[in-house]
Chain A
Amino acid sequence: MGNGLYARLRNETPIPLDAEVTCAPGEVLALVGPSGAGKSTILRCIAGLYRPRHGRILADGQVWLDTNESIDLAPQSRAVGIVFQNYALFPHMSALANVAAAVPRGSARSPEDRARHLLELVHLAGLEDRRPGELSGGQQQRVAIARALAREPKVLLLDEPFAAVDQVTRRKLQRELVLLRRDVQVPIVLVTHDLEEAAMLADRMSILHHGRMLQTASATEIMARPATALVARLLDLRNVFEGQIERHLPDRGTTLLRWGGHLLEAAYAPQFAEGAKVNWVIPSGDVILHRHDRPSRGERENPLVGRIEEMIALGETASITMRVDRTGDAFLTLAVPLHVARRNALVQGGAISVSLLKTGIHCMPHEMPSV
């Protein structure tokens, strides 16, 4: 790895960790997972605030940690910018002093000059003399970003940077981060438990669970093709089921999947043996409602009928849970615009028929206990 970030971390106790992080300059990598998944610990390892039992960290070609070679640079010797969840600003110092404190000694410009410039960059000109207690949450976050950049970091680490601000400020700050990353050509590692945020801001995301990195890929890739049922569950994907591989049809690019009394056509998945039990998932967007008035796209693909178990309006969208016939009470979730639901006279307890798009059906190794 030339000038990006590479980290390989392993630890057993007290915090289990098994992770490999790569992030190129200018790239945003999101670490996603529930609380206690080890996301923040990974950041702390990279910053030098926590030392794993085994590990190797390279940043911009420099070795920061190598437990085999007994190399472990102190946080002071790692050019790292970090924004903590609660910003961790120095409460007794002005915004300017907070940022100036991180300017490396011996810089060409005076620390105050550079701090002033950075505060301008994060739109805080005029508030230099305020203390953190006199700034709003959003402004504090900007000071924290300016302070992280002051050190001319080779790696930028953001630990839930948007968790402590309101929705409107969050959107604004997220936009600013997107603009900022164009100017700052360093690897950015973002910790978040918000999938939507990860999908919006990151080029790739890593799913973490109990300190283990389960899958790293782009957000779209992970959402459509989770590596395991556990990943699917962590992503809060609804339509995860058990099935059995019936037969592969390579010339048609199809794998036939047995699901209760149905034989579904699924995306070709030759890695599973015929007869193997699998978990499979389909995004709600690939569940197509059959309309009353006209034929729908892909209507002939995997048609299913059932009853509407629950229908709730979420804004302009109707979230529908249907009990699928001949599946032993499996529930399928789909979302349709509210006006479509009305036009098709969908009501709770009523009949519904849908199609599952073949390309949307993704098979995963079978996981016990069943999901």
Chain B
Amino acid sequence: MDWTALLLSLRLGAVTVLCLLPIGVIVGRTLAYRRFPGRGLVEASLMLPLVLPPTVIGYYLLVAFGGASPLGRVWETTFGTPLVFSFEGLVVASIIVNLPFAIQPAQRAFEAIPREIRDAAACCGMSPLRILRRIELPLAWSGILTGLVLTFAHTLGEFGVVLMVGGSIPGSTRTVSIAIYDRVQAFDEHAAAVMATLLLLLSVVALGLVYALSNRTGRKHG
């Protein structure tokens, strides 16, 4: 059992979730309520990580993060370390790959709030920020949370992109799913089985949470 890899995966999941919380709320809400030119294109691009093979995404991210790219150069001059094959690189990749998981449920949850309710809030004299805090977030919360749980579970299981962008550096970029692969390659079936079971359990708990949350949403609006 590779505890370092498990802890790294959990840390990666937690940081990704924390970063995607504001992004999911802001982007999900904007897509739910605002009409602007190119909205369809934005929505489609955000869905790309769902359909692209992870190795393809990984390849493009590797190119985009590498020392030859502007982003990679800026990162390296600012922080002194390369973005590829680092934990930070994994976080950025993980955020991008998980955009649809965090944004979609949030967007649907915001869309499910009847327009009249938001109008009524405005006619009650509430400022837009107060409407967000007192009306929209409490009503959309379970959808946002669903997205975050999915993101967390998906981050734990992500393999292709992580391997491409991070490699398999113990303590830095070797996550639990890569550790499983490593163990299988080394014919250490016992360790692989333990870690696989653990991931399976975590996924079941995550899905249970997602269903419980979506039932709550259904009841609230139903």
CB closest chain-A residue, reference B122? A75
Q: Is the CB of A101 within 8 A of B126?
A: yes
Taking a contact as CB atoms under 8 Å apart, the answer to whether B116 and A91 are in contact is no
Which chain A residue lies CB-closest to B119? Answer: A49
A222 on the B face (CB < 8 A): no
User: A50: nearest residue on chain B (CB-CB)?
Assistant: B119
Q: Say yes or no for B134: interface residue by CB 8 A criterion.
A: yes
Contact of A84 among B116, B134, B138 (CB under 8 A): B116
Report if A76-B135 is in contact (Cβ < 8 Å); known contacts: A88-B116, A88-B120. Answer: no
The verdict on B35 contacting chain A, using a C-beta distance below 8 Å, is no
Check: A92 CB closer than 8 A to any chain B CB: yes
Q: Find out whether the CB atom of B124 lies under 8 angstroms from the CB atom of A92.
A: no
Nearest 3 CB-CB pairings of A with B: A102-B124, A88-B116, A88-B120
The residue among B122, B124, B221 with the most chain A CB atoms within 10 A of its own CB is B124
In the complex, the answer to whether A90 meets B121 with C-beta atoms within 8 Å is: yes
The chain A residue with its CB closest to the CB of B127 is A76
Q: Are B123 and A90 in contact (CB under 8 A)?
A: no
Chief secondary structure at chain A's binding surface: loop
A104: Cβ under 8 A from any B Cβ: yes
Q: How many A-B residue pairs have CB under 8 A?
A: 61
Docked-complex contact B119 and A147, CB < 8 angstroms: no
When distances are taken between beta carbons in the complex, the residues of chain B under 8 Å from A89 are 117, 120
Q: Are A84 and B125 in contact (CB under 8 A)?
A: no
Question: Taking the complex as formed, is B220 at the interface, i.e. its CB lies under 8 A from any CB of chain A?
Answer: yes
Q: Is the CB of A76 within 8 A of B119?
A: no
B125 touching A88 by the CB < 8 A rule? no
Q: Does A358 contact B (CB under 8 A)?
A: no
From known contacts A84-B116, A86-B116, A101-B134, infer whether A91 and B123 are also in contact, taking CB-CB under 8 Å.
Answer: no
Say yes or no for B38: interface residue by CB 8 A criterion.
Answer: no
Which chain B residues lie closer than 8 Å to A104 at the CB level? 125
B139 within 8 A of A: yes
Q: In the docked arrangement, what's the CA distance between A104 and B127, Å? A: 12
Most chain A Cβ neighbours within 10 Å, of B125, B134, B221: B125
Expressed in whole angstroms, the Cα–Cα distance for A356 and B111 within the complex equals: 58
Interface string of A10-37 (1 = CB under 8 A from B): 0000000000000000000000000000
Q: How far is the CB of B163 from chain A (nearest CB, A)?
A: 43
Q: Are A91 and B134 in contact (CB under 8 A)?
A: no
Residues of chain B with a CB closer than 8 A to A85's CB: 116
- Where the two chains meet, the residues of B that have a C-beta atom closer than 8 Å to any C-beta of A are 114, 116-117, 119-127, 134-135, 138-139, 220-221
Tell which of A47, A76, A88, A150 touches B126, judged by Cβ atoms closer than 8 Å: A76
Chain B nearest Cβ from A46, distance in angstroms:
10
On whether the beta carbons of B135 and A90 are closer than 8 Å, the reply is yes
List the B side residues contacting A44 at CB < 8 Å: 119
Max chain B Cβ within 10 angstroms of own Cβ: one of A76, A89, A105, A147: A76
- Is B126's CB under 8 angstroms from A92's CB? no
Given contact pairs A90-B135, A91-B139, A92-B220, A101 touches B124 in the complex (Cβ within 8 A): yes
Q: Closest chain A residue to B138 by CB distance?
A: A92
Other A-B contacts than A91-B220, A92-B139, A150-B124, 14 sampled, CB-CB below 8 A, are A47-B119, A48-B123, A49-B119, A82-B123, A84-B119, A84-B120, A90-B120, A90-B121, A92-B138, A101-B121, A102-B123, A102-B124, A147-B124, A151-B125
Whether, in the assembled complex, A80 has its beta carbon less than 8 Å from a beta carbon of chain B, the answer is yes
The chain A residue with its CB closest to the CB of B120 is: A88
Closest to A105 in B: B125
A85 to B115, CA, bound (A): 12
Given A101-B126, A147-B124, A151-B124, are A88 and B119 also a contact pair (CB < 8 Å)?
A: yes
B122, A76: Cβ atoms closer than 8 Å: yes
Set of chain A residues within 8 Å of B220, measured between Cβ atoms? 91-92
Q: Which residues of B contact A91 (CB under 8 A)?
A: 117, 139, 220-221
- Give A105 to B126 CA distance when docked, in angstroms: 10
Q: Which of A74-108 contact B (CB under 8 A)?
A: 74-76, 80-82, 84-86, 88-92, 101-102, 104-105
**Residues of B with C-beta under 8 A to A150:** 124
The answer on a CB contact under 8 Å between B138 and A47 is no
Q: How many Å lie between the Cα of A226 and that of B114 in the bound state?
A: 38
Q: Which A-chain residue is minimally distant from B221 (CB atoms)?
A: A91
Q: Return A160 CB to nearest CB of chain B, in Å.
A: 12
Select A74's contact among B116, B117, B121, B122, beta carbons within 8 Å: B122
Known: A91-B139, A92-B139, A101-B134. A76 touches B117 (CB 8 A): no
The CA-CA distance from A151 to B122 in the complex, in Å, is 12
Q: List 14 A-B contacts (CB under 8 A).
A: A49-B122, A49-B123, A75-B123, A76-B125, A76-B127, A81-B123, A85-B116, A88-B114, A88-B117, A88-B119, A101-B134, A105-B125, A147-B124, A151-B125
| Chain A residue, CB-CB nearest to B141 | A92
Complex Cα–Cα for A251 and B116 (A): 58
